[in-house]
Chains A and B, each alone.
Chain A
Amino acid sequence: MSILYVLIPLGLVLLAAAVAAFFWAVGSGQFDDMDTPAWRVVMDDDRTPPARKQEDDDER
């Protein structure tokens, strides 16, 4: 059972790291909008090849 003396503190360290990561994520605004990102994955941006960009710019 003495392995717990190592594992529990180790768990706490990982926990602290996870909390720190979450704080960073919240601070950088990743939790401000909970609706849009869920949809982003469904929308295929790759329908617009980079070549189109040139064309459009020329038209302008």
Chain B
Amino acid sequence: MAESRACFHCGLPVPAGLDLSARIDGEDRPMCCHGCKAVAELIGASGFDAYYRFRDAPPGDAPAPPPGDDADWRGFDDPETLPLFAATRTDGGREAVLHVEGLYCSACSWLLENVLRRLPGVTEITVNTASSRLHVVWQPEETRFSAILGTIERLGYRPHPQSLTEAYSPRHQERRQALKRLLVAGVGMMQVMMFAVALYAGAFQGIDPEMRRFLVWVSALVTTPVVFYSGRPFFQSAWRGLICGRPGMDLPVSIAVGGAYAASLYAAVSGHGEVYFDSATMFVFFLSLGRFLEMSARHGATERSAAIGQLLPDTVRRIADERSDGEEIIAVARLRAGDRFALRPGERVPADARILRGRASLDESLITGESEPVSRGPGDEVTAGSINLDGALTLSAERVGQDTMLAAISRLLERAQAERPAVAVLADRVASWFVVGVLVLAASTGAVWWWIEPGAAFPAALAVLVVTCPCALSLATPAALAAANTALADRGILITRSRALQGLAEFDRIVFDKTGTLTRGRPELERIVPLAEGADAERCLAIAARLESGSEHALARAFPRRGDTPADLRPVPGRGIEGSVDGVLYRIGSAEFVGAAARAAAEPLETGPASTLVFLGDGERRVLAAFELRDSLRDDAAAVVATLREAGIATAIASGDRSRTVDDIAGRLGIDDARGDLGPEDKLAWVRELQAAGEKVALVGDGINDAPVLAGADVSAAMGAGTTLAQSSADAVLLGDSLAPLLTAVELSRRTRRIIRQNISWAIGYNVLAVPLAASGMLAPWMAAIGMSASSLLVVLNALRLRRRGDAARPGREPAGAPAAPAALEASP
């Protein structure tokens, strides 16, 4: 087990005794399995060795899928199905957008582009790493859609064709629109500032009136698109706020921008009075910049998280003819309730269905969170998203698409997301009051000056609006958030909602899910107990490894992959496997399967509560050995929990697993409160209960059954290796297979909160100082604008300090599974 070689392709450790290699860049590189070898050889043989030099991250933790076959994708060539996923171009070509699972870095996109471009008939191909999307155009006469999909799968990625309606999302449009607005504002601002400098210089040194008029008009010309094109979102949002009776921050922004623009235009036409075009454009630009940065951070995260359909397979083997059992592969979108379909081992159930024939163990962890597979037979219902582990099934679809349980969970999730935390509501209300205050202040300044000296009334009121204008105030938070998001992304934490940073800085209880969060989420071989006389542990393991090498069962993955799969291997669904090794018949599986003697032998074996026992026996029902498998704790779990406790945060576990298992884990990690046997609703209810008691609850989870509770907690984080949906409902995603980034996130969030407070105090202090000056007419609007810009700049620079890397060591980057760490964990009480 102490084998340190890592697979050159996927980075997983190479099982001991396995000797596989592929020639890359003229050298033989170690490979961990035949799947990786096939992929690496395809890459090497195509002359794309450079992929290995340029990639910046190995592919995900999942073992590479077996090389795919175009035939699996034939369903998409069907003339009825193809138009759902591929648009026809005017030149007769077809174009489609695919979501590609497993696309992690630029090297992947380079590889995909280059390999696909060699397919005959593929004319255009672009891969967007940021959103994991692939856009492809091909000539249907020369190549088929299934060939493209099959090639992608053979490269080790998993393509998900996107139906045309979901392919062109409004997010793209929103981002493009915002970019254009930002550029217009930025370029416009630079121009107008240039003219403004000339005008200010002219005001001191004297300027030809003709030239002054010219510069004023040119400024007006440039400012117009900035105000009406770039500033449009502010006016729209201010108007919406007014209609709802909830004036937002955008209202004074709109009044200041609109007022400054109108007054300046009036000054330009009438030929006397000040112009404030520079203030107006600067204002629009800075605000747009802040919003753009915030939007990018938001989109970047949500784009990766995918729609619910991606948890389901794309194709299904429908049984077309009742009598002959002839199968045809169709797209899942065409499956109807009542259709019969076949499911092979390793495939996902595409719809809620009832088993007609066959028996199999199903991994339902997606829905129930239960890590142990359940056995299902004829008449039982299975839910969409479960994985068939070991038996061939014939099923009848009961509910498809939006009617499935999976879709219902996703709706539950949407509802939980719709409930906004109380803090957000409070912030809105405070903003409204602030806005009303600013408006009243500006209006009264104008009114007072109207009595004293009508000519000074407008400049003074405008100066007050510009000075108080929440520029620094409104930049204070988004600038810090954007800087923090970038800093966190550099450290392997993706923030998907802005409330995450606030939440991570101030939660006082953290609730962990167990499987896949505190534990690795996959069983590992803990120990081997020889039970028969003369049985040798090594020999038993070798036999077990050969038997299990043909199985896709979750427990089988705990055994090293080595030796050939016996030819007569016979899996008995839900119970075990039978097969001959070196001419002797063996059985491996549950005690019931191996024989009565095994059950007797199991009694005296003391096992940890989180363990599962697997027995090896021979054809005469003699028990040879027992294997204890355990879902081991993450190496850094204990350290993370201890650090959080030291920081005064209460810890808890909420799990769908058996209470005994959960208590054991809690005991070993020193977690205060542990609850097992919880379904998704129970978890949500518990979190609500804690919240009602006044606690702020953070949740760390990974399964899809956690999704509602992830959304319901005050702040939530999902493990990057977890299900995609869990990521989309979590406020933050910990990329990589380690808990340690959580600590970094908490630490950085606290720093962010400190910086936001500094920024806001600065902005308020500046206002307190500047408002009396502006109200007393001592500040010209241009001075106010310069003061405001300087103050904004200060705020932004302060925020950017967050991006500086601290000297602190980053434990999150330790290679997962370092041999020494588990031993240290076991030693802890």
| Interface residue B434 (Cβ < 8 Å from any Cβ of A) | no
Indicate if the CB atoms of B54 and A42 lie closer than 8 Å: yes
Contacts of B215 in A (CB 8 A): 8
| CB of A21 to closest CB in B, whole Å | 11
| Interface residue B214 (Cβ < 8 Å from any Cβ of A) | yes
| CB of A41 to closest CB in B, whole Å | 11
Q: How far is the CA of A48 from the CA of B131 in the complex (A)?
A: 28
Q: How far is the CA of A34 from the CA of B110 in the complex (A)?
A: 14
Indicate if the CB atoms of B179 and A35 lie closer than 8 Å: no
Question: Scoring A residues 21 to 60 as 1 if CB is less than 8 Å from chain B, else 0, what string do you get?
Answer: 0110011010111111011101111011000110011000
Report A8-22 residues with CB < 8 Å from chain B CB.
8-9, 11-12, 15, 18-19, 22
Q: How far is the CA of A49 from the CA of B184 in the complex (A)?
A: 44
Contacts of A15 in B (CB 8 A): 187, 191, 222
Contacts of B54 in A (CB 8 A): 39, 42-43
* Number of CB contacts from chain A to chain B under 8 A: 80
| Interface residue B197 (Cβ < 8 Å from any Cβ of A) | no
| Interface residue B120 (Cβ < 8 Å from any Cβ of A) | yes
Q: How far is the CA of A23 from the CA of B221 in the complex (A)?
A: 19
Which of B109, B110, B183, B221 is the one whose CB lies under 8 Å from A12?
Answer: B221
Question: Scoring B residues 105 to 120 as 1 if CB is less than 8 Å from chain A, else 0, what string do you get?
Answer: 0110110001000101
| Interface residue B535 (Cβ < 8 Å from any Cβ of A) | no
Contacts of A40 in B (CB 8 A): 106, 110
| CB of B254 to closest CB in A, whole Å | 24
Contacts of A45 in B (CB 8 A): 114
Q: How far is the CA of A43 from the CA of B131 in the complex (A)?
A: 21
Indicate if the CB atoms of B110 and A1 lie closer than 8 Å: no
Q: How far is the CA of A33 from the CA of B110 in the complex (A)?
A: 13
Indicate if the CB atoms of A32 and B50 lie closer than 8 Å: no
| Interface residue B128 (Cβ < 8 Å from any Cβ of A) | yes
Indicate if the CB atoms of A26 and B50 lie closer than 8 Å: no
Indicate if the CB atoms of B114 and A48 lie closer than 8 Å: yes
Which of A23, A34, A36, A53 is the one whose CB lies under 8 Å from B118?
Answer: A53
| Interface residue B47 (Cβ < 8 Å from any Cβ of A) | yes
| CB of A46 to closest CB in B, whole Å | 11
Contacts of B109 in A (CB 8 A): 36
Which of A8, A22, A36 is the one whose CB lies under 8 Å from B128?
Answer: A36
Contacts of B118 in A (CB 8 A): 53, 56-57
The B interface, classified by DSSP as helix, strand, loop or mixed, is: helix
| Interface residue B805 (Cβ < 8 Å from any Cβ of A) | no
Interface size on A, residues (CB 8 A): 34
Contacts of B131 in A (CB 8 A): 32-33
| CB of A47 to closest CB in B, whole Å | 6
Indicate if the CB atoms of B129 and A22 lie closer than 8 Å: no
Of chain A, the residue at the smallest CB distance from B218 is A8
| CB of A12 to closest CB in B, whole Å | 7
| Interface residue B175 (Cβ < 8 Å from any Cβ of A) | yes
The A interface, classified by DSSP as helix, strand, loop or mixed, is: helix
With contact pairs A18-B187, A53-B118 given, residues A1 and B211 touching in the complex (Cβ less than 8 Å): yes
With contact pairs A12-B222, A36-B106, A56-B118 given, residues A4 and B50 touching in the complex (Cβ less than 8 Å): no
| Interface residue B40 (Cβ < 8 Å from any Cβ of A) | no
Of chain A, the residue at the smallest CB distance from B175 is A32
| Interface residue B799 (Cβ < 8 Å from any Cβ of A) | no
| Interface residue B127 (Cβ < 8 Å from any Cβ of A) | yes
Interface band, chain B:
35 or more
Indicate if the CB atoms of B130 and A47 lie closer than 8 Å: no
Of chain A, the residue at the smallest CB distance from B177 is A26
| CB of A49 to closest CB in B, whole Å | 9
Report B165-198 residues with CB < 8 Å from chain A CB.
172, 175-176, 179-180, 183-184, 187, 191
Indicate if the CB atoms of B221 and A4 lie closer than 8 Å: no
Which of B48, B180, B208, B222 is the one whose CB lies under 8 Å from A22?
Answer: B180
Q: How far is the CA of A15 from the CA of B617 in the complex (A)?
A: 81
Indicate if the CB atoms of B208 and A1 lie closer than 8 Å: yes
| Interface residue B444 (Cβ < 8 Å from any Cβ of A) | no
| Interface residue B643 (Cβ < 8 Å from any Cβ of A) | no
| CB of B225 to closest CB in A, whole Å | 9
Of chain A, the residue at the smallest CB distance from B128 is A33
Residue with the greatest number of chain B CB neighbours at <10 A, chosen from A38, A42, A43: A43
Of chain A, the residue at the smallest CB distance from B214 is A5
With contact pairs A5-B214, A8-B218 given, residues A47 and B183 touching in the complex (Cβ less than 8 Å): no
Indicate if the CB atoms of A39 and B183 lie closer than 8 Å: no
Indicate if the CB atoms of B50 and A47 lie closer than 8 Å: yes
Indicate if the CB atoms of A35 and B130 lie closer than 8 Å: yes
| Interface residue B761 (Cβ < 8 Å from any Cβ of A) | no
Contacts of B126 in A (CB 8 A): 29
Indicate if the CB atoms of A33 and B211 lie closer than 8 Å: no
Contacts of A31 in B (CB 8 A): 176, 179
Residue with the greatest number of chain A CB neighbours at <10 A, chosen from B114, B180, B211, B222: B180
Q: How far is the CA of A44 from the CA of B176 in the complex (A)?
A: 30
| Interface residue B607 (Cβ < 8 Å from any Cβ of A) | no
Indicate if the CB atoms of A32 and B128 lie closer than 8 Å: yes
With contact pairs A19-B184, A56-B46 given, residues A35 and B129 touching in the complex (Cβ less than 8 Å): yes
Contacts of A35 in B (CB 8 A): 106, 129-130
Indicate if the CB atoms of B130 and A34 lie closer than 8 Å: yes
Report B198-250 residues with CB < 8 Å from chain A CB.
208, 211, 214-215, 218, 221-222
Q: How far is the CA of A9 from the CA of B187 in the complex (A)?
A: 15
Contacts of A43 in B (CB 8 A): 50, 54, 107, 110
| CB of B288 to closest CB in A, whole Å | 15
| CB of A13 to closest CB in B, whole Å | 12
With contact pairs A18-B187, A39-B106 given, residues A48 and B176 touching in the complex (Cβ less than 8 Å): no
Contacts of B221 in A (CB 8 A): 12
Q: How far is the CA of A34 from the CA of B184 in the complex (A)?
A: 20
Of chain B, the residue at the smallest CB distance from A40 is B110
Of chain B, the residue at the smallest CB distance from A28 is B176
Q: How far is the CA of A45 from the CA of B176 in the complex (A)?
A: 30
Indicate if the CB atoms of B187 and A36 lie closer than 8 Å: no
Indicate if the CB atoms of A39 and B110 lie closer than 8 Å: yes
Contacts of B114 in A (CB 8 A): 45, 48
Contacts of B176 in A (CB 8 A): 26-27, 31-32
Indicate if the CB atoms of A48 and B187 lie closer than 8 Å: no
Indicate if the CB atoms of A44 and B183 lie closer than 8 Å: no
Q: How far is the CA of A31 from the CA of B128 in the complex (A)?
A: 11
Contacts of A23 in B (CB 8 A): 180
Contacts of A34 in B (CB 8 A): 130
With contact pairs A32-B128, A34-B130 given, residues A22 and B47 touching in the complex (Cβ less than 8 Å): no
Q: How far is the CA of A43 from the CA of B179 in the complex (A)?
A: 28
Of chain A, the residue at the smallest CB distance from B215 is A8
Report B85-133 residues with CB < 8 Å from chain A CB.
106-107, 109-110, 114, 118, 120, 126-131
Of chain A, the residue at the smallest CB distance from B49 is A47
| CB of B191 to closest CB in A, whole Å | 7
Q: How far is the CA of A33 from the CA of B133 in the complex (A)?
A: 10
| CB of B337 to closest CB in A, whole Å | 38
Contacts of A33 in B (CB 8 A): 128-131
Indicate if the CB atoms of B180 and A26 lie closer than 8 Å: yes
Closest 10 CB pairs of A and B: A39-B106, A33-B128, A48-B47, A36-B129, A36-B106, A26-B176, A36-B109, A43-B110, A33-B130, A26-B179
* 29 pairs, CB–CB < 8 Å, chain A vs chain B: A1-B211, A5-B214, A9-B218, A12-B221, A12-B222, A15-B191, A18-B187, A19-B187, A22-B180, A26-B176, A29-B126, A31-B179, A32-B128, A32-B130, A33-B129, A36-B110, A36-B129, A39-B54, A39-B107, A39-B110, A42-B54, A43-B50, A43-B54, A45-B114, A48-B47, A52-B47, A53-B118, A56-B45, A56-B118
Name B's A-contacting residues (CB within 8 A).
Answer: 45-48, 50, 54, 106-107, 109-110, 114, 118, 120, 126-131, 172, 175-176, 179-180, 183-184, 187, 191, 208, 211, 214-215, 218, 221-222
Q: What 17 additional pairs, Cβ within 8 angstroms, besides A36-B106, A36-B109? A: A1-B208, A4-B211, A8-B214, A8-B215, A12-B191, A12-B221, A15-B191, A19-B184, A33-B129, A33-B130, A33-B131, A38-B106, A39-B107, A40-B110, A43-B107, A43-B110, A56-B46
